[in-house]
Chain A
Amino acid sequence: MIKLDNVSKKFGTGVFGLSDITIDVDKGEFLFLVGPSGSGKTTIFRLLIRDTLPTEGTIVIEDWDVVKLPKSQIPHLRKKIGVVFQDLKLLMDRTVFENIMLPLEVVGIKIEEASQKAEDVLAQVGLLEHKEKFPIQLSGGELQRAAIARALVLSPDIILADEATGNLDMATSWEIIKLLSDINEKGTTVVMATHNLDIVKNLSKRVIELEKGRITKDSKSPKSEQKKNGGKDIDKEEQKKDKKEEEKPVDKDKEDKSEDKKEEKK
């Protein structure tokens, strides 16, 4: 589905934003990209939507060779990938509804059909009652959901969520994660970048850790990748993994309980 092969990105300043990244994401997978800021998470997303080009390596999404993609094909690629940007990139002078309509407008779907679709998506993220509000009138969580709705509205095969829980409190973050998991369960591949380790720990999803542009850990890395990293690292990683797997069921229960409570409240 998404295949990055030995991708490096050197910035104009000479600093490597990414070096030798190899990631293979299957269809329908839910993947966390974890790492401190500056570790290259956003750069990976920018590469995936061809907002920037890698210095080396190949990127393949479905059957698109992203690096060699002709300029005229970029819009088609971007329509296949829904992105929740770190800074959301909602249009401030348009209502939530108009923001959600934007991708549909871009594709050129008939107005009635598009409105219906936009309303469906707004209902899915629980923003239907706020549809006539402007972004400035929404809370952080609502803005995040609006951005997710916009990413979802074209029913993309892939959703990239960059720090979708960035400035949110734990409860709201979980709502967002729940929303993304639901989307994932319907078959959409979700890649989420975050530095919030609590969330990652509590979910039994694939995790790729990045640091200074390098992959330091991949919880589902192919064997060839492990060999490259050398013996010690693997041991540590596997130990960590084991620990995590022990922790996970407990955490999962907790999470489920908290989810249940929330639903009861509603």
Chain B
Amino acid sequence: MRHVKNSWKNIRRSPYQAFAAIMIMTLTFLTISFFTFLLLGSSKIVNFFESKPQVTAFFKNEAKQADIDSLKAGLEASSKVASVKFVSKDEALSIYKEQNKNDPLLLDLVTADILPSSLEISAEKIEDLTSISESLKSSPLVSEVIFQKDVVATLTSWTSALRTIGIVLVVVLSLVSVFIMVTIIGIKISQRKEDIEIMKLIGATSWHIRWPFIYEGVFYGVAGAFIGWLFSSAVLLYSTPFLSSFLKGIPIFPIPYLFFVILLGIEVLIAVILGAFSSFMAVLRYLK
């Protein structure tokens, strides 16, 4: 407790350095938070598309129900297909109504007649999608095949690019914040060189002198993590209405509060490690 009190005194007495240290830590954790949101969100989206029926075949209006049923039975017999679901014109309308329930203008224009009936086919493996879609396209009943493999592939490549950028950014920022913290704590140690010398002469152990500096580093880290977390979470919660209408149908929102708590926990842990590590480096460097 005494060390904590001493380090708090140190922090108060040099507000600009404390501010700089907290700012860089905030920046680091803001980036960590935002990239966590992006990566988790995009992987949820990819999962969503991967688990959804991957091939949708829309039938021509003149297609007869009996032909459709035999096509469906043929698909179900195939080992490549996991499941097949028939969506009639009426079901299509109710799905359409559900998706656009907030937009009465769109609802008025549409009747069951103009919506095609369709088959939603889920493949066992993503590689089989091409052959399934090819066989469907050759059927005379089918007017159009929507093939979501492209969507998934694009999303996956975006996600992996995002992940790379995120990791590089977070690593660079963490390094920068460690170096800035080492410098700031180093300045503080130099400022108190006389005090430290006196403490040593009256019998203070090295650790007695080191602890306040280490606590100081941890404080900067945790403060930065908390501010960064608070800010990014607030932004995410604030933009939830916009994002959930943009990502309609993908079950991401509302984000459970537990997620934020876990994120804070992990960030604080990282902050403690970063803060302690940088001040320990400084102490080793400047307090021989």
Contact = CB atoms under 8 A, between A and B. Distances in A.
Is chain B found bound to chain A in the same assembly? yes
Interface of A: 49, 51, 72, 75-79, 83, 85, 89-91, 93, 102-103, 105-107, 111, 150, 154
B42 to A, nearest CB: 52
A106 B201 contact: no
B90 interface: no
B195 interface: yes
B275 to A, nearest CB: 23
Contact of B201 (A49, A72, A76, A111): A49
A49 B202 CA distance: 9
B138 interface: no
Contacts of B199: 102, 106
Nearest to A82: B202
A106 B203 contact: yes
A78 B203 contact: yes
A150 B203 contact: no
Interface in B168-198: 195, 197-198
Nearest to A153: B202
B202 A102 contact: yes
B202 A106 contact: yes
Q: Which 10 A-B pairs have the closest CB atoms?
A: A78-B203, A79-B203, A106-B204, A75-B205, A75-B203, A89-B198, A103-B202, A106-B203, A91-B195, A106-B208
Nearest to A150: B202
A76 B203 contact: yes
A150 B205 CA distance: 17
Nearest to A46: B201
Interface of B: 2, 195, 197-205, 208
B203 A107 contact: yes
Given A75-B203, A75-B205, A105 B198 contact: no
Contacts of B208: 106
Main secondary structure of the interface of A (DSSP, over half): helix
A91 B203 contact: no
A150 to B, nearest CB: 7
A93 B200 CA distance: 17
A107 B2 CA distance: 12
B201 A51 contact: yes
Contacts of B197: 89
A89 B198 CA distance: 6
B203 A105 contact: no
Most chain A CB neighbours (cut-off 10 Å) among B198, B203, B205 = B203
A80 to B, nearest CB: 8
- Of residues B197, B200, B202, B208, which shows the largest number of chain A Cβ atoms within 10 Å of its Cβ? B202
17 contacts: A49-B201, A51-B201, A75-B203, A76-B203, A77-B203, A78-B203, A79-B202, A83-B201, A90-B198, A91-B195, A91-B198, A102-B202, A103-B203, A105-B2, A106-B199, A106-B205, A106-B208
Contacts of A51: 201
A109 to B, nearest CB: 10
Contacts of A72: 205
A51 B204 CA distance: 13
A105 B197 CA distance: 15
Contacts of B2: 105, 111
Nearest to A90: B198
A75 B206 CA distance: 9
A105 B198 CA distance: 13
Contacts of A77: 203
B193 to A, nearest CB: 12
A47 to B, nearest CB: 13
B195 A78 contact: no
A75 B204 contact: yes
Contacts of A78: 200-203
B201 A89 contact: yes
Contacts of B200: 75, 78
A107 B199 CA distance: 11
Nearest to A154: B203
Nearest to B197: A89
B12 to A, nearest CB: 12
B69 to A, nearest CB: 85
Given A78-B201, A89-B198, 12 more contacts: A75-B200, A75-B205, A77-B203, A79-B202, A83-B201, A85-B201, A102-B202, A103-B202, A106-B202, A106-B204, A106-B208, A107-B203
B269 to A, nearest CB: 29
Contacts of A85: 201
